[in-house]
C-alpha cells in the first residue's frame, strides 16, 4: 500500500523516481531549506519512510516520534551514517539504510585529487597566481613532494580505500594499509602508529565511530615522517583539527588535503589560514551520475521496506 515518505531536500535528477513509481506520497518543502531537529521530529510522526542526507540529524527524539507514529525506514543518501542514531533505530524497530558501493570510484577520484594537489601545493600556487602574487617562474617556487614512487598509507581498507589503492598503480607507489582485522593481503600493518611512521602520504578511509573520533590526534600527527602529506575524505572528526592546524603551522606536517571537517559547515579559522593546505567543501561523491544514483538507491530502499521486501543495504548499530 502506498505510504507517505519525507524527502528532506531536493534530490538530483531521477532521485524521486522509485517513490513516485511506487505511488508513494512524497512530502517535501517547496524550497530546499534544511530541516531543524524539531521540524524533523514533528514530521517523523506523520510518515512511513524518510529519505535524508548526511546533514540531517536523525537523533533518538526524531526516531521516537517516528516510532510513535508509523515510521518504518530511514534511508540516508550517503555511505556514512553517523548522523543517524542507528542503535536507537534498532531498538525501535526502524530500519536504517545507506548507499554503499556506488560512490567508491568517485570518492577515490577525489582522494587522489587531494593527494596530488596537496603534495604539489596546487592550492597555494593557484591562489598566488590568481591573486597577482606570481612574479614569474622561479626555480625555488612551490617545491612540493613527488607522488609517484611515494609510500601511501591507507587507514581503513574498505571499498573506497581499495579504489584509491588501484589508482596508485600508474604512479608506481607502494601501498600499505591498516585495518583492525587482518586483511590477509600484502601491505597490511597491524599497528596504526607503525603505519603512520613509515609512509609518505596518509589517506583516511574509516567511518566515524566512537573508536575513530580523533583517531589522528596530536600524538599520531607527531609520528608522521618529515615531509608527510595527510588526506581526509572520510569524516572530519576522525582528525583533531586544532592539532592538524598546529602541525601544518609548525611545518611538522608538509601538507594536507581535506574534504571533510569537524564541525561542518564551519571550518576552523586556523585551518583556513594554514599553509600548504587544500580545502574542499565535502564534495567526495559530487558528480551528477553518482549523486543521482545514490539518491535513487536510497529511495528504492524505502520502497522495498514499505513493500515488505528486505532492503539491500540495511545498517545496524
Binding site for ligand GLV (CB under 6 A): 54, 78-80, 103, 284-285
Q: Pairing state of beta strands 229-232 and 201-204? A: parallel
Of the pair 54, 121, the CB lying nearest ligand GLV is at 54
Residue with cell 572528526: 237
List of residues 6+ apart from 137 with CB closer than 8 A:
none
91 in Cβ contact with 146 (< 8 Å)? no
- 126, 242, 249, 264: which is the annotated catalytic residue? 264
Best CA proximity match to 58, nearest among 78, 35, 79: 35
Of the pair 79, 173, the CB lying nearest ligand GLV is at 79
User: At its nearest, how many Å lie between ligand GLV and the CB of residue 79?
Assistant: 4
Q: How far apart are CA 44 and CA 65, in angstroms?
A: 6
User: At its nearest, how many Å lie between ligand GLV and the CB of residue 273?
Assistant: 25
User: At its nearest, how many Å lie between ligand GLV and the CB of residue 284?
Assistant: 5
Of the pair 29, 159, the CB lying nearest ligand GLV is at 159
Of the pair 228, 298, the CB lying nearest ligand GLV is at 298
Helix (H) or strand (E) holding 27: strand 25-27
Q: What residues pair up with 177 in beta bridges, in sequence order? A: 154, 188
User: At its nearest, how many Å lie between ligand GLV and the CB of residue 71?
Assistant: 22
Query: What order do you get walking across the sheet with 73-76 strand by strand?
Result: 25-27, 4-7, 49-52, 73-76, 95-97, 314-315
- 282, 291, 301, 313: which is the annotated catalytic residue? 282
Q: How far apart are CA 63 and CA 86, in angstroms?
A: 10
User: At its nearest, how many Å lie between ligand GLV and the CB of residue 293?
Assistant: 12
Reply yes or no on whether 124 is catalytic. Answer: no
Chain centre to alpha carbon of residue 300: 22
Q: Pairing state of beta strands 95-97 and 314-315? A: antiparallel
Reply yes or no on whether 57 is catalytic. Answer: no
User: At its nearest, how many Å lie between ligand GLV and the CB of residue 104?
Assistant: 10
102 is written with which cell numbers?
A: 556506488
Reply yes or no on whether 282 is catalytic. Answer: yes
Cis amide bond preceding 114, omega within 30: no
Of the pair 54, 247, the CB lying nearest ligand GLV is at 54
Best CA proximity match to 278, nearest among 135, 83, 116: 116
Of the pair 79, 303, the CB lying nearest ligand GLV is at 79
21 is written with which cell numbers?
A: 513509481
Question: Which residues are known to be catalytic?
Answer: 235, 264, 282
Amino acid at each position: 500500500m502506498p505510504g507517505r515518505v519525507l524527502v528532506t531536500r531536493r534530490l538530483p535528477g531521477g532521485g524521486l523516481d522509485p517513490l513516485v513509481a511506487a505511488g508513494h506520497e512524497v512530502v517535501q518543502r517547496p524550497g530546499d531549506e534544511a530541516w531543524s531537529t524539531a521540524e524533523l521530529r514533528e514530521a517523523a510522526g506523520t510518515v512511513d519512510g524518510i529519505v535524508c542526507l548526511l546533514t540531517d540529524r536523525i537523533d533518538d527524539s526524531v526516531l521516537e516520534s517516528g516510532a510513535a507514529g508509523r515510521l518504518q525506514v530511514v534511508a540516508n543518501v550517503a555511505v556514512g551514517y553517523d548522523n543517524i542514531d542507528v542503535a536507537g533505530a534498532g531498538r525501535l524497530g526502524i530500519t536504517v539504510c545507506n548507499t554503499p558501493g556506488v560512490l567508491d570510484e568517485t570518492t577515490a577520484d577525489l582522494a587522489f585529487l587531494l593527494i596530488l594537489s596537496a603534495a604539489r601545493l596546487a592550492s597555494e600556487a593557484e591562489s598566488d597566481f590568481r591573486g597577482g602574487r606570481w612574479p614569474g617562474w622561479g626555480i625555488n617556487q612551490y617545491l612540493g613532494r613527488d607522488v609517484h614512487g611515494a609510500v601511501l598509507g591507507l587507514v581503513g581498507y574498505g571499498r573506497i580505500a581499495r579504489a584509491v589503492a588501484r589508482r596508485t598503480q600508474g604512479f608506481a607507489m607502494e601501498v600499505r594499509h591498516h585495518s583492525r582485522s587482518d586483511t590477509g593481503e600484502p601491505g597490511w600493518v597491524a599497528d596504526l602508529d607503525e603505519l603512520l611512521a613509515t609512509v609518505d602520504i596518509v589517506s583516511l578511509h574509516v567511518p566515524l565511530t566512537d573508536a575513530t573520533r580523533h583517531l589522528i590526534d596530536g600524538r599520531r600527527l607527531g609520528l608522521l615522517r618529515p615531509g608527510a602529506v595527510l588526506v581526509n575524505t572520510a569524516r572530519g572528526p576522525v582528525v583533531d583539527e586544532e592539532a592538524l592546524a598546529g602541525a601544518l603551522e609548525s611545518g611538522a606536517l608538509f601538507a594536507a588535503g581535506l574534504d571533510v571537517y569537524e564541525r561542518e559547515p564551519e571550518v576552523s579559522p586556523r585551518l583556513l589560514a594554514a599553509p600548504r593546505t587544500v580545502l574542499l567543501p565535502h564534495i567526495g561523491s559530487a558528480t551528477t551520475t553518482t549523486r543521482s544514483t545514490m539518491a535513487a538507491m536510497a529511495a528504492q530502499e524505502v520502497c522495498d521496506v514499505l513493500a515488505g521486501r528486505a532492503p539491500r543495504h540495511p545498517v545496524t548499530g
